């Protein structure tokens, strides 16, 4: 996350250190505050500065690299449980629009995007993809799992809700060496009765 070299001629105002911007972004993620509410009295840059720096890191691919390094370090320390990966896609309102913003009838017709997330059993984030709000979750399930497998990780089970229910996805996951399973309050990825009975028995055995 180191900044690119400054120009020798007309370098402009000195930028805030990357660490200060990163701490501001993490503080917002932890507290759920808006960018405009980031408390400057705690030593953070302005929320707008943190927002611009985050977008700069995303465009340079730095944010994805940081997540990959975090996953590798957590795995090295034995903090990750690869027996289960949970996939979900929360909506994010985008009233000002954007490249991956569409109106979704599921989200009351508001302009929105979706963060397609894969987390492991202890809720550590593993992969994230951004898509338009009106795009079906199924289109992102296999890319999320394929991205994990490309880095050498193979989840034992993949848990997802009703939006991912598809025989095609079930077959693809099993072919990749992962078993489709239901989340606690949802339905199994597969529609088959046998899978529902097996998932219910599995859940009862863990209680």
Tell me: the pLDDT tens digits for 95-150? 777 777 788 777 778 888 888 889 998 888 899 888 888 888 888 889 988 888 88
- Which tokens in the block code for residue 50? 């943190």
Mean pLDDT, all residues of the chain: 80
pLDDT of 182:
57
Residue 86 phi/psi, 5° resolution?
A: -110, 135
pLDDT of 52:
93
The whole-number average pLDDT for the span 78-83 is 90
The whole-number average pLDDT for the span 47-76 is 90
pLDDT of 46:
95
119 neighbors 86 (Cβ within 8 angstroms): yes
Beta strands in 46-138 (DSSP E): 84-88, 91-93, 102-103, 111-120, 125-132
Assess whether pLDDT exceeds 60 at residue 207. Answer: no
CA atoms within 13 A on the CB side of 126: 30
CA distance 157 to 138: 17
Q: How far is CA 21 from CA 54, 109, 131, 155, 205, in A?
A: 8, 33, 25, 33, 46
pLDDT of 160:
86
pLDDT of 22:
93
Assess whether pLDDT exceeds 90 at residue 3. Answer: no
pLDDT of 203:
44
pLDDT of 5:
65
pLDDT of 6:
63
pLDDT band at 167 (very low <50, low <70, confident <90, very high): confident
């Amino acid at each position: 996350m180191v900044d690119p070299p400054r120009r020798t001629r007309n370098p402009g105002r000195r930028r805030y250190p990357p660490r200060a911007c990163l701490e501001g972004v993490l503080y917002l993620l932890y507290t759920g505050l808006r960018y405009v509410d980031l408390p400057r009295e705690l030593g953070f840059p302005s929320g707008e500065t943190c927002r611009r720096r985050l977008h700069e890191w995303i465009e340079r691919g730095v944010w994805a690299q940081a997540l990959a390094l975090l996953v590798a370090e957590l795995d090295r320390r034995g903090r990750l449980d690869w027996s289960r990966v949970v996939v979900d896609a929360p909506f994010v309102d985008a009233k000002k629009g954007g490249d991956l913003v569409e109106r979704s009838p599921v989200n009351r017709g508001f302009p929105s995007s979706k963060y397609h997330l894969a987390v492991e059993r202890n809720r550590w984030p593993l992969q994230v993809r951004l898509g338009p709000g009106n795009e079906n979750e199924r289109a992102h399930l296999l890319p999320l799992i394929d991205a994990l497998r490309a880095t050498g990780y193979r989840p034992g089970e993949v848990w997802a809700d009703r939006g991912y229910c598809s025989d095609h996805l079930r077959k693809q996951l099993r072919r990749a060496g992962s078993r489709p399973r239901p989340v606690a309050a949802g339905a199994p990825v597969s529609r088959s009765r046998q899978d529902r009975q097996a998932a219910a028995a599995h859940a009862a055995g863990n209680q």
